[in-house]
Structure 1
């Protein structure tokens, strides 16, 4: 969600009406957020912030302080049926004509037969849910943070292979970079720092890494104790948005149709594992020859 903030800022300043929604890791049913549809909650600056981990409420508070609409929508982690229904309700209620999924990382482009998929459950179920939305003119995917998913075992040669395939099929929409000192990056950094100030024991690995890459950090840099003991590769490419037509990404995914009957995230994980176990071959890790 926070990785979408540079885009959010630019679009709002361009006069667009923009809404933020997130597939949440927060136990939303234990918060004071208003449930507006089964598994879909609206978080505002007045929502009680009693849980140790609640990034949506701190984003709402930050948006209010900056003079923006402070409503942040959050989906509980459920299966395809609930998530797709919640997305469709939100699209219809807000009269949305464009949905942009933003992946903090690049594992959303993994097809399913690669050596490492990263953390595919949330990306895949979101991809499936948005792909099937009705009454939406544009469905897009943006990835930011090239190199972050090495922490989760993703082979970035396979990511670049996917980008090349999407380019050949006409579904890659190009890249653009975030620059230090731009209003979009300043807004993003301030929001992340605001949230970190309230959740000091849950510093975001993804957002800290992206901001580090943008400001020129390089190599095995660590911003939280959660990454100690692993080797990170902070690099200048982390500040690039890679953009795609969502349909092209969804069509390349080899297991997305297996998620359509899932009711929970456990079902999603099980469906992916069963698909992987039945593959005749897993494509081996391939180092980048740079």
Structure 2
């Protein structure tokens, strides 16, 4: 396969996006494991991995795939290329929803970072975050009274996880928890791949009066390793495109609203 066959992130198939997300979370996975997960042949998975390597997203190894090294784009840089305009619209919608003076928790992820940028000029916000990248967005604009939880850094976006992170969150009460996610379960429940990040999100949900989940349309056909919470735990899901029927039906049953930015 030549460089002419390389695809940008937004052109990857849903299965290729999920393979990439799995590798980003666990570092390495086997072809056999992926074939069993997706219910396809090993040859089908192998073709996906070859395409992903040609597009500089991961590295093919004997029997599997792992994180790329050297000059190949980082997972975080890849995510920045996915639906940037959609994420901006989601961020602008969040800024319309969150009132001045609100107490908010901001999660990790490029979509949440777009919301943080949209909230920069909202007066009087009291911000708590488990993301070093989100804190830097505010600091770069001269806003320094942002609470950053303790914890262990995880990933290129400066995610903070662990018991110190959870203990810090449990000391607050939020008007809004603004959360990212990796995909959706069959009933519309938000999911993710990293159990420690899920634990941080669950703590924020338990301390928030209202929970917003942010998801660009690339997440509609993705799932995850575990559920963040049941659909009814989320007051609103903000997206950049009309979600498929199965998600709408699940959210309707749970009484969860959604907004297309």
Q: Indicate the TM-score class for this superposition, using the shorter chain for normalisation.
A: 0.3 to 0.5
- Give the TM-score taking structure 1 as reference length: 0.33
- Give the TM-score taking structure 2 as reference length: 0.36
- Greater RCO structure (CA 8 Å; 6+ sep): 1
